[in-house]
Amino acid sequence: MSEKSALVLFSGGQDSTVCLAWALERYPRVETVGFNYGQRHAVELAKRSVVREALAAVYPEWGARLGEDHVLDLATLGQISDTALTRNAAFEMTAAGLPNTFVPGRNLLFFTYAAALAYRRGIRTLVGGMCETDYSGYPDCRNDTLESLARSLSLGMDTPFAIETPLMRIDKAGTWAMADALGGAPLIKLIVEHTHTCYTSDRTGGHPWGYGCGQCPACRLRAKGWEKWQAART
């Protein structure tokens, strides 16, 4: 089962949706896991099931491969994090040179919990949407970090784990292009209409690239990537 299954860290946002589609193209069985850590944009948790159902409906072959979904409670992470993702604070840079949307330890914990779940489920491949090409400067999104973590998880659980990051070397325009290559216009439409990447819970107004406040770092990256991808297609 381990060689034929993958567990996707699935938030309900654009990047993790593209990673889910990527995994569904490659593995006969794919399960998903999300995390409730007290994020201010908790609407993303509600969109997860919507996106999964839409993927299964639009792409029956993927729906046949889509396995169980899991949501893990990491509320203590939000309690110990003083960040703009877990507090109602303005988005800004910190004295350490990192955006205050950085939640220390978040991806490290996500993968550790995901590996523990995957171990029990007989899955040895974890898939995440981390990227160091066009991102916000988070040190836990770097390839070196995740390669080191995969080694530690494999040693600590005495079984080989692989962490796959299909977006690691591409920018946001490349992410839109990958979605188009994987599922064409229907997948692009699904991402625009149903996913939630904004750091706030704002879904009152739509943009060509999807819903969001349009001002937070995540929205600006998504909009910039959309514009670059659209320009490359003309």
pLDDT above 90: percentage of residues in the chain: 64
Query: What is the predicted pLDDT for the residue at 99?
Result: 54
pLDDT in tens, the chain (234 residues): 456 899 999 999 999 999 999 999 999 999 999 998 777 567 888 999 999 999 999 999 999 999 999 999 887 766 656 554 455 655 445 555 545 455 567 888 899 999 999 999 999 999 999 988 766 667 887 899 999 999 999 999 999 999 999 999 999 999 999 999 999 999 999 999 999 988 888 888 789 999 998 988 889 899 999 999 999 998
Sign, Cα dihedral of 183, 184, 188, 190: negative
Could you tell me the residue ranges of all domains in the chain? 2-191
pTM of this structure? 0.89
Query: What is the predicted pLDDT for the residue at 179?
Result: 98
Spelled out in words, what is the top-level CATH class assigned to the domain 2-191? Answer: alpha beta
Taking only the tens place, the pLDDT of each residue in 167-189 is: 999 999 999 999 999 999 999 99
Query: What is the predicted pLDDT for the residue at 84?
Result: 46
